[in-house]
């Protein structure tokens, strides 16, 4: 994590620094250089180059690629980059150079600025030198190095041997992506092959066709796919399985649309004959009928309504008739 920042405001080919303290000799990635560029730098790729106090040990950092980074939405004018250790090795004044160039070609430079930063001396950077070892000590050290290197090489060889032995024990289906090593065995299209040269993507079947279908440049056939055998006899019918559990009741279906109106039915049979009505001729014609609902209807002709009543005691209909026989009724 940076403990200090140096702000660099870049306008065209001029730079204004908030501080010139790059840090202490020997440290690295402690101070952050914060760069803000003016609009002239918008379309340019940007590279930062650091040099130590003697102008050597250059380190280049790509800040922005105008071809690639424009697609990622990276800010082309603001950058925060830690000062690496290389320019801080020597005390004095290190230097950074900001280059702006077109496209991805650093040779097509459009803008360049340079600015120095101070690297302060660190008393703890230099350590007292160890005394020169004696010849015996130097020989002992060399022997220890040789022993360590030999032990490392032996271990690597043993690991490689163990991996090879493990690999030849495993059968695997061939695929074009895996890197196959000698003695590894694969199955492919029903046949078996063993690898004789490292390869990737070499089809064993195609490779061995040039060698009579047996050996190729990378694979050796060890077991060929057999011919298809005769069909076996039909086996006995199996026992009937137990009945499965009843499934859940299905959802109620939607109501169907109303059908068309049916044809008119035939005429019904003739109803029974109704009771005969009564008719009287008294000051006109008077007739009584009873309809099918049981209602009594009185029909008369003339200007006077006939007199009649139904007796509540016996339920009989009584009609009053006036007869002109000298004034009697």
Could you report the per-residue pLDDT of 225-256, keeping only the tens digit for each?
Answer: 877 878 888 889 888 888 888 888 888 888 88
Q: Which residues pair with 91 in a beta bridge?
A: none
**Which of 108, 106, 109, 96 is closest to 55 using CA atoms?**
96
Residue with tokens 């000298």: 326
Is there a contact between 269 and 281 (Cβ–Cβ < 8 Å)?
no
DSSP 77: S
pTM higher than 0.75, yes or no?
no
pLDDT at 163: 73
Domain with CATH 2.60.40.3350 in the chain: 4-120
Query: What class, spelled out in words, does domain 4-120 have in CATH?
Result: mainly beta
Which residue did the predictor score with more confidence, 176 or 282? 176
Q: Tens of pLDDT along 172-196?
A: 899 999 999 998 999 998 899 999 9
Among residues of the chain, what percentage have pLDDT more than 70? 88
pLDDT at 37: 95
Domain with CATH 2.10.10 in the chain: 171-223
Helical ranges in 185-248 per DSSP H? 204-208
Architecture of domain 171-223: Ribbon (2.10)
């Amino acid at each position: 994590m940076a403990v200090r920042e140096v702000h660099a405001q870049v306008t065209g080919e001029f730079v204004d620094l908030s501080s010139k303290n790059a840090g202490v000799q020997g440290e690295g990635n402690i101070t952050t250089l914060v760069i803000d560029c003016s609009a002239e730098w918008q379309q340019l790729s940007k590279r930062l180059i650091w040099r130590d106090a003697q102008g050597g040990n250059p380190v280049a950092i790509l800040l922005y690629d105008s071809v690639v980074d424009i697609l990622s939405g990276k800010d082309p004018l603001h950058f925060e980059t830690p000062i690496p250790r290389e320019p801080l090795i020597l005390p004095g004044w290190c230097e950074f150079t900001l280059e702006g160039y077109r496209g991805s070609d650093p040779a097509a430079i459009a803008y360049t600025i340079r600015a120095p930063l101070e690297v302060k001396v660190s008393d703890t950077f230099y350590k007292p030198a160890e005394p020169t070892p004696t010849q015996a000590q130097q020989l002992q050290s060399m022997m220890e190095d040789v022993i360590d290197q030999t032990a490392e090489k032996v271990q690597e060889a043993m690991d490689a041997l163990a991996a090879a032995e493990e690999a030849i024990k495993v059968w695997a289906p061939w695929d074009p992506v895996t890197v196959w090593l000698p003695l590894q065995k694969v199955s492919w299209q029903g046949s078996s092959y063993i690898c004789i040269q490292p390869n990737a993507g070499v089809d064993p079947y195609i490779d061995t066709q040039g060698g009579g279908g047996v050996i190729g440049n990378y694979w050796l056939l060890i077991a060929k796919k057999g011919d298809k055998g005769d069909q076996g006899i039909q086996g006995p019918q199996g026992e009937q399985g137990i009945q499965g559990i009843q499934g859940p009741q299905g959802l109620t279906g939607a109501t169907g649309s109303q059908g068309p109106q049916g044809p008119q039915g035939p005429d019904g049979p003739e109803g029974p004959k109704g009771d005969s009505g009564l008719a009287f001729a008294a000051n006109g014609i008077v007739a009584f009928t009873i309809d099918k609902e049981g209602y009594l209807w009185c029909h008369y002709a003339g200007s006077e309504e006939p007199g009649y009543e139904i007796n509540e005691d016996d339920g009989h209909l009584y009609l009053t008739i006036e007869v002109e026989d000298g004034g009697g009724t």
